[in-house]
Structure 1
Amino acid sequence: MGVRQWIEGWPVYRQLTGSDPLGRGSAVTSARTRELEARTAKADSVVRSVCPYCAVGCGQKVYVRDGQVTQIEGDPDSPISRGRLCPKGSASKQLVTSHTRVTTVLYRRPRGRDWEHLPLDKAMDMVADRVIETRRRTWQQDFEGRRVRRTMGIASLGGATLDNEENYLMKKLYSAMGAIQIENQARI
């Protein structure tokens, strides 16, 4: 690289001799910078979502390419966060793409000593079977022996990190299962 070529490549020279005297645009943009493109430019689709970390419910845009999440950013159309995310929300891509993400369920059998890995589908079937059995065993009856469509064998204590919509859906789920002991940590 010659001296003249080096001087012309220097941002200050481009700023003083070009059309960008304040150095806010083309004068300070290198050839390498001009070659770069945003990680979101080649996304196949953009899915709107909500940040999973706290009860604020900040809007997110999830960029997907070839079935893989490539970027997660704040959603500027969200009335809650207006495109901003906290550091945890900004790093939420790691929840779905990290190589350390847990994809199985740890289960310890009754009176067992060791944990075993179960596929999520099998664990969900086990939970469903137990809910059905608990309802069957603890379904209440009135004084005349008629079913009253409720059970005291199932209860729910929701966490304060759930947003209003999640708590609403949890209330509907547990009410549909016949539970009447439904509470939330935020109320306690």
Structure 2
Amino acid sequence: MARFSVLGWPVFRQAKSKDKLGRGPAVESPKYANMRPRTEDADKVVQSVCPYCAVGCGQRIYVKDDEVIHIEGDPDSPISRGRLCPKGAASEQLVNTPSRQKTVLYRRPYGTDWEELDLETAMEMITDRFLEARRNHWEDFDEHGSPVNRTMGIASLGGATIDNEENYLIKKLFSAAGAVQIENQARI
């Protein structure tokens, strides 16, 4: 440990130097003199929207070698003006966590283990089940004979981890399919 010296005090350095207002070299710490911004090495900066809630805060995503190295608030965003909530500020961890699931997992009915499926197979399974539920539960008329053209076999519960545009498209998709049970976590 270095020995304490009054000569190292910023006030003493300020009085000794020409930096009378204490805004220059007199207050610079040797520890931080060689530090660089963590975003300096980024290959590119991509503008995006925070994935968590429906507010739509702007983000700047710093990318190096096709890997996200830092995410911060976008000061050009008219919504958030460069600010992010704690979840938005930590969204880099969402992308880079080693526990992030990158494959489709499926557990068969009455199964005890998960198995990996390729994306195309999983999408076909979802499509087949969606269309079957729509077909099996389609209602042209209600109990009073009024035309309803709906299905009660499909429901949607949207989450706050997708943005406004995705929620809008999901609402349109399910409405076009005849579903009436469409809700979002943000309203509950």
**TM-score interval for Structure 1 and Structure 2 normalised by the shorter chain:** 0.7 to 0.9
Residue 57 of structure 2 corresponds to residue 58 of structure 1: yes
Matches within 5 A, 1:101-116: 101-116=100-115
Residue 41 of structure 2 corresponds to residue 37 of structure 1: no
CA distance in 2, matches of 1:169, 1:161: 14
How far is 1:174 from its partner? 1.1
How far is 1:8 from its partner? 7.5
Judged with a 3 Å threshold, the aligned counterparts in structure 2 of structure 1 residues 176 and 115 are, in CA distance, closer, same or farther, namely same
Matches within 5 A, 1:14-163: 14-139=13-138, 150-159=150-159
Q: Is the 8 A contact 2:50 2:163 kept in 1?
A: no
Note the alpha carbon deviations across 1:143-164, whole angstroms, 9 max, x for none.
Answer: xxxxx97533322233467654
Find the residue that maps to 1:127 and give its secondary structure. Answer: helix
CA distance in 2, matches of 1:124, 1:27: 63
Q: Is the 8 A contact 2:10 2:26 kept in 1?
A: yes
Q: Which ranges in structure 2 are unaligned for 5 or more consecutive residues?
A: 142-147
How many pairs were matched up? 178
Residue 168 of structure 2 corresponds to residue 168 of structure 1: yes
Note the alpha carbon deviations across 1:109-143, whole angstroms, 9 max, x for none.
Answer: 0121223344555433322232233344445557x
Find the residue that maps to 2:26 and give its secondary structure. Answer: helix
CA distance in 1, matches of 2:134, 2:140: 12
CA distance in 2, matches of 1:11, 1:123: 64
CA distance in 1, matches of 2:132, 2:16: 81
How far is 1:33 from its partner? 2.5
Judged with a 3 Å threshold, the aligned counterparts in structure 2 of structure 1 residues 118 and 16 are, in CA distance, closer, same or farther, namely farther
- Comparing 71-80 with 113-122, which one deviates more in the overlay? 113-122
Note the alpha carbon deviations across 1:57-105, whole angstroms, 9 max, x for none.
Answer: 2211111111010110001111221111122211110001111222234
Task: Pick 1 or 2: higher relative contact order, CA cutoff 8 A, min separation 6.
Answer: 2
- Comparing 84-93 with 63-72, which one deviates more in the overlay? 84-93
How far is 1:184 from its partner? 3.7
Over aligned residue pairs, what C-alpha RMSD do you find? 3.1
Q: Is the 8 A contact 1:155 1:179 kept in 2?
A: yes
Judged with a 3 Å threshold, the aligned counterparts in structure 2 of structure 1 residues 94 and 120 are, in CA distance, closer, same or farther, namely farther
Aligned residue identity for 2:74? D
CA distance in 2, matches of 1:62, 1:44: 11
Q: Is the 8 A contact 1:103 1:120 kept in 2?
A: no
* TM-score normalised over the length of structure 2: 0.74
Find the residue that maps to 1:46 and give its secondary structure. Answer: strand
- Comparing 167-176 with 66-75, which one deviates more in the overlay? 167-176
Work out the percentage of aligned pairs sharing the same amino acid. 66
